[in-house]
Amino acid sequence: MSGLCFELAGLATAAVPDLRISGAAEWTTDSGGNYDSAVVRTEDGVTLLVRRAVTEDAENELVARSRALAVMTQGIRARLAFAVPHEFGVLRDRAGSVGVYGFIPGTTLDRVQLDFDSMIVPDLGRALAAIHALPRQFVAAAGLPERTASQSRQQVEQLLDRADTTNRLPAALADRWGAAIDDPQLWDFVPSVIHGSLERYSFVTNGAGITGVLGWSDLQIGDPALDMRWIHTLDGAVVRALLDEYTDARGASVDRQIRQRSLLYAELELARWLIHGVTTQDPAIIADAEQLLDGLVTRVRALDESTIRHETLPVLDLEQVQALLADAGTRARTGLPSRPMHSDMEAPEDLGDDLTDAERAAINAAADASDADENDASDTELSASDAERVDDATASFDPLGDRN
């Protein structure tokens, strides 16, 4: 047992009464230099992770994580198909606060090759959906942060303003991000429970699925797209498969603009990197950020996708509208949904909540057209504006590379 391990083991026994440790080993995975960490084994065979904050940011993170984990009751954890760390104790020490947590065995996702046909990918989609389906009451009751859709939009606008004032932000990106901020439909979403700081290394896997999710210091009610920004570092086919599973798991409550906003958040990480370089007056970071921003401009222009726009609904002809109306009528009479309910979703308060956005749009459009001449109805088509989607290649762009 090294000197550091011996020290952390001793602090762990001070943090957790009656803790008896039989062995310890250093643990450096994803510490980022912010923590001194060790894995300890108790005399009764339990493995624990001991972490001591060594920076101010880590200290604040440890305190926030402690608060978040405390409100995640057994009932909340039972809604999740993966493990969430348990906090066994915290010690406030002059050298830095120490937290003792249950150890989740496995491999963090940043060390795993993800292919589109991997069993891990759909499980990722379901894990994200399960987090976003958690009841908001337990977060609100604990006094954790809450952000409305409008506040999320304002926060992004403020970030863009800060990046723009550096006079180093390419005009093409200022216009691209500004147009996304100004698109009201892109920000038409219902806030949900979110992890708040998910990265690829936040997930623990056993090779077949997601067995644990780490972190939780930024647990809050906010924009679910924040939890998805990291997926744009993955291959485009993996992103599509993950989002397909997420959409299926979320059902009628799915946020149909989540891919576009998550792409915006991913790109804005470059703006954060630029702001960090300017704030710290670090020429190397500034140069790196400018190079990354220029690279993004080149990619956007090559794909001829200068804007991030809301996803539009598909075009539906009259027969499709009539089929949707008939299906809705059948469900109203039988009281049954047309698609299976998912175990991690609450039943809707009324049948209208079970309709998709496409169904609602079709039914509303059909109602508006009901006063038209019945003889001309067979020649009528209901149209929606053409969808302009970001190319799959953009979805595979890595906004931070090795800087996570």
Predicted pLDDT of residue 167: 96
Task: Name the residue ranges covered by the structural domains of the chain.
Answer: 3-105, 108-309, 316-382
- β strands within 206-250, DSSP E: 210-213, 220-222
Distance between CA atoms of residues 242 and 52, nearest Å: 35
Nearest to 183 by CA among 257, 267, 293, 268: 257
Q: What span, in angstroms and rounded, lies between the C-alpha atoms of 149 and 141? A: 20
**pLDDT for residue 378:** 35
Say how far apart CA 231 and CA 252 lie, in whole Å. 22
**How far is Cα 72 from Cα 185, in angstroms, rounded to an integer?**
33
Lateral strand order in the sheet of 203-205: 107-108, 203-205, 210-213
Q: What are phi and psi of 141, to 5 degrees?
A: -65, -30
Give mean pLDDT in consecutive 10-residue pieces for the chain, a chain of 404 residues: 82 91 79 82 92 91 94 95 95 86 94 91 96 96 95 97 96 94 95 96 94 96 97 93 94 89 95 96 96 93 76 50 52 43 33 42 50 40 33 36 36
What is the b/e burial string over 223-262, where b = at least 16 CB atoms within 10 angstroms of the residue's CB?
A: bbbbbbbbbbbbebbbbbbbbebbbebbbbbbbbbbbbbb
What pLDDT score does 95 carry? 74
pLDDT at 385: 34
d(CA 215, CA 30): 11
Residue 365 confidence (pLDDT): 52
Cβ(90)–Cβ(106) under 8 Å?
Answer: no
Q: Give the CATH architecture of domain 108-309.
A: Alpha-Beta Complex (3.90)
Strand, coil or helix: 372: coil
pLDDT digits (tens, 9 = 90+) for 371-389: 444 444 333 332 333 333 3
Q: Select 3-105's CATH number: 3.40.30.10, 3.20.10.10, 3.20.20.100, 3.30.200.20.
A: 3.30.200.20
pTM of the model: 0.74
Rounded distance between C-alpha atoms, residue 258 and residue 247, angstroms: 10
Rama region for 232: left / alpha / beta (φ>0; ψ in -120 to 50; rest)? alpha
234, 396 Cβ separation under 8 angstroms: yes
